[in-house]
Chains A and B, each alone.
Chain A
Amino acid sequence: MASHQRLRARQAHAPGPTYLAYTPSGKKLVTAGVDNYCRVFTTGSDDEPVTVDECQENNTAVVAGSGFFITGSEDGTVSRYSLENGKFEEILVRTTLPVRDVALSPDGNWIAVASDELVVNLVSIKDKTVRTLRDQPRAVKHVSFDKTGTQLAVSCTDGNVYIYSLDEDQPEMVKKVEGMIKSMESDAESSSKVLWHPDGRAFATPTAMRQIQVMSTSDWERQRVFKTGHTADITAAAWSPNGALLATTSSDLSLCLWDTKTQKLLNKFDEVKATILVMAWHPTENILSYTNNEGELFIHTDIVPDEHVSLLQKPTISAPFFHDPSEGRAGVAPIAKLTNGNLQTLPGRPRQRSGTPDSLEDILGPEFQDDPAQEDGDEEMNDFVVDDDGAGYAQAMGLQKKRTNGHLTAGPEPASKRRAYSSALFRPQIHEPFQPGSTPWRGQRRLLCCSLTGYVETVEQEGKHHTISVKFYDEHTFRNYHFTDIFLYDKCSLNETGTLFACQPNSTGDGNTAMIYYRPHETWTTRTEWRTNLPAGESVTAIALSDSYIVVTTSTNYVRIYSLFGLPIRVYRQKSAPAVTCAAWRNYILTIGNGPVQNDLSTQLLYTIENVKHDVVYQDSDILALPPGTKLTSVFFSSEGDPYVYDSEGVLLVCLHWRNPGQAQWVPMLDTKLLARRAGGGKEESYWPVGVAASLDDALAPKFHCMIVKGREAYPSAPVPHLSEFGFEIPLRSAVDKDGGGVRKRKGRRGSFSHDEDGEDEDDGDDGGAGLTTKSNEAKQYEHEQTFILSSTLHTQLASSTRPSTTHKRALGQLEIAIDRALLQLLGLECLAGEDHGMKALEIVSLMRDANGNMLELAGKVAARYGREVLGEKIRELAERKALARGGGDGDEEEDEL
């Protein structure tokens, strides 16, 4: 620790605006001001500073890297100087108008130059290549790189912040943040600078209300606010190196220190004599340095009072979110906050994502992370890791794990690397539990549930309560309602009978137990709502509501089943644990849990389907087929009662044959990546599954209902988008050579002539198909193949359902006809293709269901039209055999399969 020094002003420059910067190691401090030299101070020494001459006058910005520093001046030059010999090196860039700010990227390779010109220049320090950012309409006041150097925040004088992504070769504006900073002149003393929080997931800016507003970068939602109480505009602010403290100052001549976690004032210094323009924390020590507009430099040692100094020594702490993004969908608090350290109750913990392939954290292992005692005692070791490029790895990233990205962690890591993480050699990745249809917090809002009945949204309010609103799609039958929620319900399930809520233990902070709350919808008579408690310490992982039962899976691996009146019907322990989620439809319940660990260290998901009323288990701990690296996004029953799952790859799967133990199969019904609306490419959107229901027009064609989420977001947010529906399309071929339906325009412009031909051919299989291209033939074949396989799958699905009724039989008959029709079309195409396709044509004919015997006759006619006599003969034989089989009794089905 540095020796105690009395706070005194050092006259660094002639009176006038003065700026400063620390080198990444914190050893040197550079100041620049109105006069034509810069000064380099050495931390912890009272010696006269080194003076670097040959500078420009009226400097407006200074940044320091390892071994050099860069100044920007009002005459438009940005110059680089060496720190070692204190000499001018070169002019990096010249602007036509005064430079207002310069920012250095964390890797020290790029600078961003803001000037009164309308553009921001990104200049490479090495070869002086320039990239230009042009999206802002007015002059720019501040620029600021984020901690990884992949994003640049530009504070424009028009009162908006423009965020650029620097990942690509050509920088691209990713977000325009409106209404956060104040619109001010580019030479104003007040600041609108974007302050990236050291944890990298949020930034803060001074607002027009003289507050500091935090915004998360994952969803661009406003998070907590520091109500600074400054009576004039904020002129400078800075996060402490670990993000635990915030220093703000304003032209009302006060300097405040804030605790990030609570946003409370820790200390206030009023003895400021002149407006502070720049503040900088020393990278490791308890020092805050600042320069003012009188040319003075203050090196304020021990700025954090002793009672709070522990805050400064912590590892990087989280930015002040309303809800930490790492909580994810399950809303599970980060690991450190949980009371019982049992790993089994922490299924949601994501695996740490390694930042760089060989970051020091990985190499050094946990011994060198976040151990305050060691940091104090072993200064040499601290110095060993010199944070040269400001990448932030000298401060341990510590407990603050970034959220896992499913696709990034797809592959297994090398064992050596994994060993470095902790002493445990084996850390399986457990599937995060989730409530189907719920989204993570976004700002203060969150969707708790969305179903085909409606959706439930919760909004966090000041004063530790939420407001839950239940919205129905059918506003006539049901009535929308909202209520104040003091139990902080975090799970919900909604159907046409009622709404089910669940809250976690200790959600109100006074040690309450987990609770389930069922609220039936209003009907002709008032029905009573009820609540029931779970045993102490047991938390709810997922809930499901059907027309007759309520299912609750809990952290103690119990499945609890209640009736709609709150009567416990059954309690049993789930075989596959920890539980992931559950779903229910009428008497059927589906529970999903983590099963054995697979070779990529993720667990296999196992599901169980049972009928509560008849007490029959249909599928017992069967495997839920998910490709490696894929997560389950949602699970639900369709309105016809078939279990569907939707995975993070955007594939909707249905469980076929689920009523026969051991026979179940997961069949993909729709791959949203292959949707025709995305054929053109360039459309970036995802689909949030809501349900599957048969359409009214055609009861045989179930549709997938979802919310379309535009952009890179993964979850819908307010305002909740309208439901969209898509017909099923079993993925057969790549989207490119699919039918022309997706690219209608080109065909349409060619004129309708060719389509007329198409139409004719489609209908009666005209012989003269000379005008047809093979491409459209292929497209038609694809279409018929699709119809065939889809109808067959739906037929299988329908045939295996248990209740035979007249409508059921009729539906089966219609599907059979649909299958046969598709086959007939395929047969026509094969006949058209040539004589050598006879074998395939016969196979197609043999696949026909031929419920009434007419279809084979038709097939014979098709063959005759194309003049395929041999094929016609074979078809007649087949028809005779089938007729014989039908006449001779249903016994020998084998004949058909020949």
Chain B
Amino acid sequence: MALSLPPGLTPPEIAFLCEMELVTIIPRQRLEGVELLAGPIRPLHPPHRSNIPLWLALLLKRQRRANILPPPWLNTHSLTAILDHETEHAETFSPPPRLPPQPSSNTLPTSPPFLPHSTADAAPDALPYHWLELGEMLLEAASDDFEEADNVRKLLRGLREVRMAKLRSGVEVLDAGGGFKMNGVGGIEVGEGRAFITGVIDGLRKIAASREQQRKDRDQEELENGYSGTANYDDDEMDMQ
């Protein structure tokens, strides 16, 4: 029996991936370092800040052993600025955070889960890949660590609406050979948009396919009986008038 899940990642899966992101915490108690497969976690030493994966941060936060510092792009000031940018530029999304310089030749290039895009010293003016998931998770688990949690929530909602609208409107140009620039689109947006966009493209393809079929049939007909094609054409024009 086939798995009935839609193609791509489900939101919980994306959220799971997002938990790899590093966030900054202020520990409330000492903790020995832990050696994990994903990398060592340094010993926690209050009041020194520490960057740890989101899943651990959420765990510690629930146990009241840490305070999570929201990343700088997750405050009302930055979000308002980004939202303004989004509403001003109707076609493009706000740019993703700047990548660090490439490391020297023999190491692999790093990508979002291994880049500190959500720590306390991240760039305040760009939404990282996992912005929505991370924002939602932090607001749910650590809303007391936000200065204005309600406003942040409101702004996130606004951003999400604006960007989803853009994604949807982008579909209009997705005709044969049409392209749509998706720089700066977040993980969950891709996941949410995937079903819709692929559906639309699939539908377009079907329409195009039937049209193609019609044309083929007509061509064949024309080939078979030479004059009927033009007569039909006239008929069509008559109908339209």
Give A residues with C-beta under 8 Å from B.
452, 472-477, 693, 695-697, 703, 705, 722-723, 725, 744-745, 747-749, 752, 755-756, 758-760, 762-764
> When the two chains form their complex, are residues A755 and B101 in contact, meaning their CB atoms are under 8 A apart?
yes
> When the two chains form their complex, are residues B48 and A748 in contact, meaning their CB atoms are under 8 A apart?
no
B112 sits at the interface (CB 8 A): no
Q: Report B-chain residues with C-beta under 8 Å of the C-beta of A697.
A: 42
Contact status of A748 and B29, CB under 8 A, knowing A696-B45, A725-B48, A725-B49 = no
> When the two chains form their complex, are residues B98 and A452 in contact, meaning their CB atoms are under 8 A apart?
no
Complex: A748 Cα to B47 Cα, angstroms = 32
> When the two chains form their complex, are residues B67 and A747 in contact, meaning their CB atoms are under 8 A apart?
no
Known: A474-B29, A752-B99. 8 other contacts (CB 8 A): A477-B29, A696-B50, A697-B42, A725-B48, A745-B125, A752-B98, A755-B100, A756-B101
Residue from B28, B43, B98, B123 within 8 A of A474 (CB atoms): B28
5 contacts between A and B (CB under 8 A): A474-B46, A745-B95, A745-B125, A749-B95, A755-B99
Closest B residue to A764 by beta carbon equals B104
Complex: A641 Cα to B143 Cα, angstroms = 38
Q: Report A-chain residues with C-beta under 8 Å of the C-beta of B26.
A: 473, 722-723
Q: Report B-chain residues with C-beta under 8 Å of the C-beta of A472.
A: 46
> When the two chains form their complex, are residues A474 and B101 in contact, meaning their CB atoms are under 8 A apart?
no
Q: Report B-chain residues with C-beta under 8 Å of the C-beta of A696.
A: 42-43, 45, 48, 50
Q: Report B-chain residues with C-beta under 8 Å of the C-beta of A760.
A: 102
B148-188, CB under 8 A of A: which get 1 and which 0?
Answer: 00000000000000000000000000000000000000000
> When the two chains form their complex, are residues A755 and B30 in contact, meaning their CB atoms are under 8 A apart?
no
User: In the complex, what's the smallest C-beta–C-beta distance from A676 to chain B, in angstroms?
Assistant: 10
User: In the complex, what's the smallest C-beta–C-beta distance from B149 to chain A, in angstroms?
Assistant: 14
User: In the complex, what's the smallest C-beta–C-beta distance from A456 to chain B, in angstroms?
Assistant: 15
> When the two chains form their complex, are residues A744 and B125 in contact, meaning their CB atoms are under 8 A apart?
yes
Which residue, of B29, B45, B47, has the highest number of chain A Cβ atoms within 10 A? Answer: B47
Closest B residue to A683 by beta carbon equals B77
Task: Kindly list the 6 A-B residue pairs having the minimum CB-CB distance in the complex, ordered from nearest.
Answer: A748-B98, A759-B101, A476-B29, A473-B47, A473-B46, A474-B46
B113 sits at the interface (CB 8 A): no
Q: Report A-chain residues with C-beta under 8 Å of the C-beta of B50.
A: 696
User: In the complex, what's the smallest C-beta–C-beta distance from B218 to chain A, in angstroms?
Assistant: 48
B118-133, CB under 8 A of A: which get 1 and which 0?
Answer: 0000010110000000
B15-55, CB under 8 A of A: which get 1 and which 0?
Answer: 00000000000111110000000000011011111100000
Chain B 95-147 interface residues, beta-carbon cutoff 8 Å to A: 95-104, 123, 125-126
B69 sits at the interface (CB 8 A): yes
Which residue, of B49, B97, B100, B103, has the highest number of chain A Cβ atoms within 10 A? Answer: B49
Q: Report B-chain residues with C-beta under 8 Å of the C-beta of A759.
A: 100-103
Q: Report B-chain residues with C-beta under 8 Å of the C-beta of A762.
A: 101
Complex: A11 Cα to B42 Cα, angstroms = 84
Q: Report A-chain residues with C-beta under 8 Å of the C-beta of B102.
A: 755-756, 759-760
> When the two chains form their complex, are residues B42 and A758 in contact, meaning their CB atoms are under 8 A apart?
no
> When the two chains form their complex, are residues A748 and B123 in contact, meaning their CB atoms are under 8 A apart?
yes
Closest B residue to A748 by beta carbon equals B98
Q: Report B-chain residues with C-beta under 8 Å of the C-beta of A752.
A: 98-99
Closest B residue to A477 by beta carbon equals B30
Q: Report B-chain residues with C-beta under 8 Å of the C-beta of A476.
A: 28-30, 65
Q: Report A-chain residues with C-beta under 8 Å of the C-beta of B28.
A: 473-476
Complex: A476 Cα to B64 Cα, angstroms = 11
Chain B 57-107 interface residues, beta-carbon cutoff 8 Å to A: 65, 67, 69, 95-104
User: In the complex, what's the smallest C-beta–C-beta distance from A438 to chain B, in angstroms?
Assistant: 18
Contact status of A745 and B123, CB under 8 A, knowing A696-B42, A722-B67, A763-B104 = yes
Q: How many residues of B contact A (CB 8 A)?
A: 29
Complex: A747 Cα to B95 Cα, angstroms = 11
> When the two chains form their complex, are residues A748 and B104 in contact, meaning their CB atoms are under 8 A apart?
no
Q: Report A-chain residues with C-beta under 8 Å of the C-beta of B125.
A: 744-745
User: In the complex, what's the smallest C-beta–C-beta distance from A168 to chain B, in angstroms?
Assistant: 22
Q: Report A-chain residues with C-beta under 8 Å of the C-beta of B101.
A: 755-756, 758-759, 762
Q: Report A-chain residues with C-beta under 8 Å of the C-beta of B42.
A: 696-697
Complex: A722 Cα to B146 Cα, angstroms = 11
Complex: A762 Cα to B101 Cα, angstroms = 9
> When the two chains form their complex, are residues B126 and A748 in contact, meaning their CB atoms are under 8 A apart?
yes
Complex: A759 Cα to B26 Cα, angstroms = 32
Residue from B47, B48, B123 within 8 A of A744 (CB atoms): B123
Contact status of A723 and B47, CB under 8 A, knowing A749-B95, A755-B99, A759-B101 = yes
User: In the complex, what's the smallest C-beta–C-beta distance from B76 to chain A, in angstroms?
Assistant: 13
Complex: A344 Cα to B218 Cα, angstroms = 110
User: In the complex, what's the smallest C-beta–C-beta distance from A776 to chain B, in angstroms?
Assistant: 11
Contact status of A693 and B48, CB under 8 A, knowing A749-B95, A759-B103 = yes
> When the two chains form their complex, are residues A474 and B97 in contact, meaning their CB atoms are under 8 A apart?
no
Closest B residue to A455 by beta carbon equals B47
Closest A residue to B43 by beta carbon equals A696
Closest A residue to B103 by beta carbon equals A759
Contact status of A748 and B95, CB under 8 A, knowing A474-B30, A476-B30, A722-B26 = yes
Closest A residue to B95 by beta carbon equals A749
Complex: A756 Cα to B95 Cα, angstroms = 18
User: In the complex, what's the smallest C-beta–C-beta distance from A412 to chain B, in angstroms?
Assistant: 42
Q: Report A-chain residues with C-beta under 8 Å of the C-beta of B48.
A: 693, 695-696, 703, 725
> When the two chains form their complex, are residues A722 and B97 in contact, meaning their CB atoms are under 8 A apart?
no
Closest A residue to B33 by beta carbon equals A696
Complex: A820 Cα to B168 Cα, angstroms = 55
User: In the complex, what's the smallest C-beta–C-beta distance from A716 to chain B, in angstroms?
Assistant: 14
User: In the complex, what's the smallest C-beta–C-beta distance from B171 to chain A, in angstroms?
Assistant: 25
Q: Report A-chain residues with C-beta under 8 Å of the C-beta of B49.
A: 723, 725
User: In the complex, what's the smallest C-beta–C-beta distance from A48 to chain B, in angstroms?
Assistant: 62
Closest A residue to B50 by beta carbon equals A696
Q: Report B-chain residues with C-beta under 8 Å of the C-beta of A474.
A: 27-30, 46-47
User: In the complex, what's the smallest C-beta–C-beta distance from A672 to chain B, in angstroms?
Assistant: 16
Complex: A473 Cα to B65 Cα, angstroms = 10
Closest A residue to B125 by beta carbon equals A745
Q: Report A-chain residues with C-beta under 8 Å of the C-beta of B47.
A: 452, 473-474, 705, 723
Complex: A747 Cα to B99 Cα, angstroms = 10
Complex: A697 Cα to B119 Cα, angstroms = 15
Complex: A755 Cα to B48 Cα, angstroms = 31
Complex: A657 Cα to B9 Cα, angstroms = 60
Complex: A325 Cα to B182 Cα, angstroms = 57
User: In the complex, what's the smallest C-beta–C-beta distance from A496 to chain B, in angstroms?
Assistant: 11
Closest A residue to B49 by beta carbon equals A725
Complex: A749 Cα to B49 Cα, angstroms = 30
Closest A residue to B51 by beta carbon equals A697
User: In the complex, what's the smallest C-beta–C-beta distance from A679 to chain B, in angstroms?
Assistant: 12
Complex: A725 Cα to B121 Cα, angstroms = 10
User: In the complex, what's the smallest C-beta–C-beta distance from B163 to chain A, in angstroms?
Assistant: 17
> When the two chains form their complex, are residues A747 and B98 in contact, meaning their CB atoms are under 8 A apart?
yes
Complex: A671 Cα to B101 Cα, angstroms = 27
Which residue, of B65, B69, B101, has the highest number of chain A Cβ atoms within 10 A? Answer: B101
Q: Report B-chain residues with C-beta under 8 Å of the C-beta of A748.
A: 95-99, 123, 126
Q: Report A-chain residues with C-beta under 8 Å of the C-beta of B46.
A: 472-475
Closest B residue to A676 by beta carbon equals B121
Q: Report A-chain residues with C-beta under 8 Å of the C-beta of B65.
A: 476
Complex: A758 Cα to B102 Cα, angstroms = 9
Complex: A475 Cα to B47 Cα, angstroms = 10
Complex: A473 Cα to B26 Cα, angstroms = 9
Q: Report B-chain residues with C-beta under 8 Å of the C-beta of A725.
A: 48-49
Complex: A759 Cα to B98 Cα, angstroms = 13
Q: Report B-chain residues with C-beta under 8 Å of the C-beta of A745.
A: 95, 98, 123, 125-126
Q: Report B-chain residues with C-beta under 8 Å of the C-beta of A705.
A: 47
> When the two chains form their complex, are residues A475 and B95 in contact, meaning their CB atoms are under 8 A apart?
no
> When the two chains form their complex, are residues A755 and B98 in contact, meaning their CB atoms are under 8 A apart?
yes
User: In the complex, what's the smallest C-beta–C-beta distance from A762 to chain B, in angstroms?
Assistant: 7
Closest A residue to B97 by beta carbon equals A748
Complex: A728 Cα to B26 Cα, angstroms = 20
Residue from A475, A695, A764 within 8 A of B29 (CB atoms): A475
Complex: A288 Cα to B227 Cα, angstroms = 112
Complex: A156 Cα to B67 Cα, angstroms = 39
User: In the complex, what's the smallest C-beta–C-beta distance from B41 to chain A, in angstroms?
Assistant: 11
User: In the complex, what's the smallest C-beta–C-beta distance from B25 to chain A, in angstroms?
Assistant: 10
